[in-house]
Amino acid sequence: MLKINNLHANIDDKSILKGLNLEVKAGEVHAIMGPNGAGKSTLASIIAGKEDYEVTEGDIELNNEDISELAPEERAHNGVFLSFQYPVEIPGVSVTNFIKTAINETRKAKGLEDMPAKDMLKMIREKSELLEIDRKFLSRSLNEGFSGGEKKRNEIFQMAMLEPKLAILDETDSGLDIDALRIVANGVNKLKSKDNAVIVITHYQRLLDYIVPDFVHVLYDGKIVKSGDASLALELEAKGYDWIKEEVNS
């Protein structure tokens, strides 16, 4: 599904990723952990195509196609979804209208007609129930005045609507209380299938109790320095990152 080869990336001439390799297959859940400033969010933004970053070496393949030159919307049309750490507020545009626009623009890019209004409503109803979202919430302006939990739930709702091949959840657990965390994780688990893949970026093991990863990677100083199974996350939770830093630096 996703193959990242020797990826180097800069922002304003500052090197952030320094030869990162990662392979994610369909049906897998990968967790990327690491200390602050390791480049976790940068990696998420680069996969999604944010233009602030300059890829200086390496490439990103999605289903054997190099996507590193594609615009962010083209990557989205190819099935990349990023759940933002800080979702943007858009006053005056309701959640419903926003997701309708997103879905129909994606369909347009694939040469399809707009989704019939009836089907759209049915889908919105189903997916909002999955995320335990109140119908009234859907007519509010996108993210405007939403609590941290509502913003994240809305991100996963959009993910459910867009049905991506590759979903990257960037710090989706930050700002969530335990109930919201359970709802969000439950939503992600229900959307998981053998045909899609999830990358969970997180600081803490907490979320991984609910979304159980097949692989855990430690990102440090722009590279993946250690990989393991779910037990690695527990070890990191218990021991912190210093031992990894020492291992790398020695």
Partner 1 sequence: MELKEKIISSYVAFENDIDINSDIHDIRSEAFHNFEKLGFPTKKLEAWKYTSLNAVLKNDFCIFPNKENAVQFADVKKYFIHDIDTYKIVFIDGKYSSFLSDTTHDGKDVCLMSSALSNSKYKAVIENYFNKIAKQDNLTSLNTAFANEGAYIYIPKNVEVEKPIQIINFTTGSEAATMVQPRNLIVVEENAHVQIIERHQSLTDNPVLSNVVTEIFSARNSTVDFYKIQNDNTNASLVDNTYIEQKTNSVVSVHTFSFGGNITRNNLNFYQRGEHIDSILKGITIIEGKQHVDHHTLVHHIEPNCESHQDYKGIFDARSTGVFNGKVVVEKEAQKTNAYQQNNNVLISDKATINAKPQLEIFADDVKCSHGCTIGQLDDDALFYMQQRGIPAKEGKALLMYAFANTVLESVKIPEVKSRINKLIATKLGVNLGFDL
Give me the residues that bind partner 1 (CB under 8 A), please.
45, 48-52, 71-73, 75-77, 80-82, 84, 87-88, 90-93, 97-106, 109, 114, 141, 158, 162
| Shorter beta-carbon distance to partner 1: residue 92 or 238 | 92
| Shorter beta-carbon distance to partner 1: residue 117 or 238 | 117
- Least distance from C-beta 218 to partner 1, angstroms? 26
- Least distance from C-beta 161 to partner 1, angstroms? 9
The CA–CA distances, whole Å, from 196 to 163, 169, 185, 241 equal 9, 14, 16, 30
CA quadruple 169, 175, 180, 186: dihedral, nearest 10:
20
- Least distance from C-beta 193 to partner 1, angstroms? 20
- Least distance from C-beta 133 to partner 1, angstroms? 17
Which amino acid appears at position 184 of this protein?
Answer: V
| Shorter beta-carbon distance to partner 1: residue 52 or 195 | 52
| Shorter beta-carbon distance to partner 1: residue 22 or 95 | 95
| Shorter beta-carbon distance to partner 1: residue 49 or 224 | 49
Length of the chain, please? Answer: 250
| Shorter beta-carbon distance to partner 1: residue 73 or 179 | 73
CA distance 138 to 164: 21
- Least distance from C-beta 180 to partner 1, angstroms? 21
DSSP assigned state of 87:
P
> What six digits make up the tokens of 123?
């889908």
| Shorter beta-carbon distance to partner 1: residue 133 or 216 | 133
CA distance 90 to 107: 22
- Least distance from C-beta 5 to partner 1, angstroms? 23
For residues 197 and 165, is the Cβ–Cβ distance under 8 A? Answer: yes
CA distance 242 to 83: 28
Helix runs in the chain, H state only = 40-48, 72-77, 95-109, 117-130, 148-162, 178-191, 230-239, 242-249
- Least distance from C-beta 154 to partner 1, angstroms? 11
Quick one: 71 exposed, middle or buried, by C-beta within 10 A (0-12, 13-18, 19+)? Answer: exposed
